[in-house]
Amino acid sequence: MKIIKNTSGFDTGKLRSLFSFIHRQVAKDEGKLSFWKTLNIQVQSKTTSSFSGRAYLGKHHSKKWDMFLSVADTIDLYDLSQLFAHELMHNYGYEHHQFPRRPLSKEQLDDIKANFDISDMKKVARAKKRINKVAQRYERMLKRQKAWSKKLKLANTNLAKVEKEIRKYERVHSEEKRTTKYLDPLPVREPKEKIDWEGKVLEWAKENDEFVLDERWWDGCCWTSDRWVSIDGNSPSDYDQLARNKTWQQWWYLLQEGLELKKQGRLHEWSMNY
């Protein structure tokens, strides 16, 4: 149960205690209200009469309040208790012809009087605390002083670092180098001449009447690749087959390696023979 608004002369906490106490009394016969935890009550001050009330039959989720009580400051404990109990019966779902106008019995009222005093339930006017603006502003000043002191310490540390770097530059570099904005442009690198590796290999083959063969053959089960090289006494007609597995540049350097080994009589060691 929640008192969502209270403009009466009674303390909200004291009213909540009284209403909860009465609900426990009624619940002994009716059972706990199914939506007691979400029951919203609005209490309003009344000046035209002593008291009045309204309540919905059951829970209405589209409404802000489930029970509305209007009470004067002069209402006694008996009328306040019976008013709440009456509207609570409507929340249980009862209409006027289904329950007594004053639902609480004498025994229940005696129990209420033993636990509550209407004079103690009135709101107590509390003097509003005056804020000391001087102390408030002084506290803010101290916080700002602490923050700026921290920033000042950081600034001094960074300043010391940059001054150290400046001294190092002044020691290592001349004044002209430190103050000249633009340097002479770097020389433009000439583009590298592109080498026609294919042409070099084919030219060598034509001049020396040599070739390199990479041959694929079917062994009855799968294709097999046999790579072999002849550097002397063969026709160059099949020479272009070397491009299957190597680039023209790789073949050129392999040929140089083979020719050097041939001069030394170690052509069998050439890696192209394996």
Asked whether residue 110 carries a pLDDT value surpassing 80, the answer given is yes
Say if 105 falls within a structural domain: yes
- The pLDDT tens digits for 146-192 are 999 999 999 999 999 999 999 999 999 999 888 898 888 888 888 88
As a whole number of angstroms, the distance between CA 76 and CA 73 comes to 9
User: Is 49:128 a contact under the CB 8 Å cutoff?
Assistant: no
First to last CA, the chain: 94
Percent share of the chain, pLDDT over 90: 48
Low-confidence winner among 206-210, 236-240, 266-270 (lowest mean pLDDT): 236-240
Say if 30 falls within a structural domain: yes
Say if 226 falls within a structural domain: yes
Which pLDDT does position 270 carry in this prediction? Answer: 67
Which pLDDT does position 248 carry in this prediction? Answer: 72
> In the predicted model, what is the mean pLDDT of residues 102-129?
90
Say if 149 falls within a structural domain: no
- The pLDDT tens digits for 59-75 are 876 678 999 999 998 89
Burial tier of 18 (Cβ tally within 10 Å: 0-12, 13-18, 19+) = buried
Q: Which residue has the higher pLDDT, 249 or 175?
A: 175
Domain that includes residue 115, residue range: 2-121
Reported as a pLDDT band with limits 50, 70 and 90, residue 256 is: confident
Query: How many domains does the chain contain in total?
Result: 2
Say if 237 falls within a structural domain: yes
Hunting for tokens 């442009």 — which residue is that?
A: 185
Which pLDDT does position 244 carry in this prediction? Answer: 44
Asked whether residue 202 carries a pLDDT value surpassing 50, the answer given is yes
Which pLDDT does position 102 carry in this prediction? Answer: 93
Is 22 in the same domain as 110? yes
pTM over 0.85: no
